Amino acid sequence: MKIIEYKDTETWYYRIYNDLPKIPQKFIDQALSIVSDPNRVAPEASNNGNYLPQSNRPLILPDGTETTSRRTPRWPISDEFNQWVRENIVSNFKDAGVSISEGISEVTGPHTDGMRQHNLIYLIDQSNSDQSTHWWQENGFSTVRKERSHTPTDMRTLSEKMSATFPMHTWVSMKIDILHSIHNIKGRRVSIQISFEDDPFEDIR
C-alpha cells in the first residue's frame, strides 16, 4: 500500500492513504443522518464523551483575538459499518464513528487527543473547502507530547510546525500527540473516523 507522508526533520504530521477502499455511500448516508438527527443524545454520551473539553471554551488566537473553541464528539454509526471496517480497512480498532464539529466559532482549538494514539479520518461534509488543520509546538516543550487531552487556551504561546487542507472522501491519518487545531470552519465539518492505540500500518510503511 502506498502511503504519502508529510513530515519534517523531527516527525511526521499527516499521511494520505489513497489505496484504502472508499466508504460505501450507504454508510456515508447513515453518518449524515446522525448529523441531522435533532434527537441525537448529549455529546457526553459519545464515543469520547469523558475526554471532551468544555464546549465553546475560551481561546486566544495567535494574533491575540479572543474567541472560543469548537469540539468534535464522535458517534457510533452502525454495527454493519463496524463490520465493513473490519473486513476492508483493519480488523482491530478502538472505535469507529462520525465526528461532528460543534461550536459557535470557526476554530477547534489546539489539543492532543484524549482516548487514542492513532486515527484514520475520512472527510464527508464541509461548509467550505478551505478549512485547514495546523500542528503546533508549545514554547518550552517538545513537539510530540506525552500528555493526553492537553488543551492550551492561549495560542500566542505556540509556534506553528505544519498545516494542511485534507481532501474529501480520502483516508488520512494525523499526528494526534502533537498539538493540533482546525481553522476557518464556516459552518459544517463532518468526518468518519477510526481510532487506534497502535499504528495499524506500522509494518507496511
Residue 87 corresponds to which amino acid?
E
Cβ atoms 97, 76 nearer than 8 A: yes
The SS3 assignment for 43 reads helix
Q: How high is the mean pLDDT of the chain?
A: 93
Could you read off the pLDDT of 105-146 as tens digits, one per residue? 999 999 999 889 999 999 999 999 999 999 999 999 999 999
* Letter string b/e over residues 124-154, b meaning 16 or more CB atoms within 10 A of that residue's CB: bbbeeeebebbbbbbeeeebebeeeebbbeb
- pLDDT in the model for residue 40: 81
- CA angle (116 as vertex; 172, 23 as ends), nearest 5: 35
Instruction: Count other Cβ atoms within 10 Å, centred on residue 92.
Output: 9
The residue ranking higher by pLDDT, 40 or 17, is 17
- pLDDT in the model for residue 204: 63
For the cut 70, the answer to whether the pLDDT of residue 22 exceeds it is yes
For the cut 70, the answer to whether the pLDDT of residue 51 exceeds it is no
Separation of alpha carbons 93 and 74, rounded Å:
14
Sole residue written with cell 473553541: 69
Q: 103: phi > 0 → left, psi -120 to 50 → alpha, else beta; which?
A: left
Could you read off the pLDDT of 33-50 as tens digits, one per residue? 999 988 887 777 777 777
- CA angle (89 as vertex; 85, 90 as ends), nearest 5: 90
- pLDDT in the model for residue 1: 81
CA 76 vs CA 3, 193, 196: distances in Å: 27, 10, 15
- pLDDT in the model for residue 205: 56
Least confident segment among 38-42, 176-180, 198-202: 38-42
Name the grid cell of 8: 519534517
Region 170-178: what's the mean pLDDT? 97
Could you read off the pLDDT of 64-92 as tens digits, one per residue? 999 999 999 999 999 999 999 999 999 99
Q: What is the CATH number of domain 4-36+51-204?
A: 2.60.120
Percentage of the chain lying above the pLDDT 90 cut = 85
Return the domain boundaries, the chain: 4-36+51-204
* CA end-to-end span of the chain: 8
The DSSP line for 145-174 is -S-TT---SBGGGEEEEEEE-PPBTSEEEE
